[in-house]
Amino acid sequence: MSGTPKPDSHTETPSFDSVFRGELETLFRWRRDVRHFRRDPLPKGMVEHLLAMADLAPSVGNSQPWRFLQVTTEDSRARVVANFEDCNAQALANQDPDRQDLYASLKLEGLRASPVHLAVFCDEGTEQGHGLGQETMPETRRYSVVMAIHTLWLAARAQGVGVGWVSILNPADVARILNTPPDWTFVAYLCVGWPQDYTEVPELERLGWQARRTQMETVAR
């Protein structure tokens, strides 16, 4: 039966009212990158729920090339923390001298406290999707992975769960630590857990590193 379109399993198409739209906007406004976590665990099934939501993200050719690895062993987690520390020390050394103190004061990960670590990869060799859309733009596989991460991020926020994206890592080292297949590209390392608090303003804006700009400002140039 392959190739035969499946009938839509929904008999009723949902419609979204103004109350929902307002709440959705609030979700967008109050999604935060979280670096300050409580140490208590997430409820059973939460990670599975978030991964199921991530699976609903769009992807090139419907290839779903995202691979989420939950990093559970103390040894692997400790090696990732050490890798962050090395990379962050290098990043600090590379800052403009007049920004070094501010950079040094920033907390740029929640690796030690967050109960859940998810390393996210792109499977560059997946046959799912039969290559559709990827021939001239193979990078669309990685864009698809980012879509899944963002979907998970919003789904987590809707549950009150915090997500912090850590990119101050060496991709080759992370792949080595986690012993991943050679055709998986490292995309993100996510800290997941209960946040200590939530604010409407991004932490980097509150601490004077970089404020948000509006789309209007960007387009008006």
Ligand X SMILES: Cc1cc2nc3c(=O)[nH]c(=O)nc-3n(C[C@H](O)[C@H](O)[C@H](O)COP(=O)(O)O)c2cc1C
Q: Residues 6 or more apart from 36 whose CB is under 8 A from it?
A: 107, 110, 113, 195, 196, 197
Q: Which stretch binds ligand X (CB under 6 A): 11-19, 31-39, 47-55, 154-162?
A: 31-39
Comparing CB distances to ligand X, the nearer of 122 and 129 is 122
List the one residue from 28, 167, 196, 207 that touches ligand X (CB under 6 A): 167
Using CB under 6 A as the binding rule, whether residue 117 contacts ligand X is answered as no
State the virtual CA torsion across 42, 44, 48, 52 in degrees, nearest 10: -90
- Is 204 a binding residue for ligand X by CB under 6 A? The answer is yes
Tell which one of 46, 113, 147, 168 touches ligand X (CB under 6 A). 168
Nearer to ligand X, 131 or 143 (CB): 143
Cβ pair 166, 190 in contact under 8 A: yes
Q: How far apart are CA 29 and CA 73, in angstroms?
A: 34
Binder of ligand X out of 68, 121, 165, 186 (CB under 6 A): 165
Phi first, then psi, for residue 83 (nearest 5°) are -65, -40
Q: Does 196 bind ligand X (CB under 6 A)?
A: no
The CA distance from 20 to 6, in Å, is: 29
Asked if residue 35 binds ligand X (CB under 6 A), the reply is: yes
Q: CB-wise, 129 or 194, nearer to ligand X?
A: 194
* 34 and 110 Cβ atoms separated by less than 8 Å: yes
Indicate the residue among 51 and 204 with the shorter CB distance to ligand X: 204
Q: Residue with the closest Cβ to ligand X?
A: 202
Residue 66 touching ligand X (CB under 6 A) = no
Rounded Cα–Cα distance for residues 97 and 52 (Å): 44
- Determine if 54 is a binding residue for ligand X (CB under 6 A): no
Query: Smaller CB distance to ligand X: residue 32 or 67?
Result: 32
Which tokens is 117 given? 């670590």
- Please tell me the distance from the alpha carbon of residue 156 to that of residue 192, in angstroms, as a whole number: 9
Footprint of ligand X on this chain (CB under 6 A)?
32-33, 35, 108-109, 165-168, 202, 204
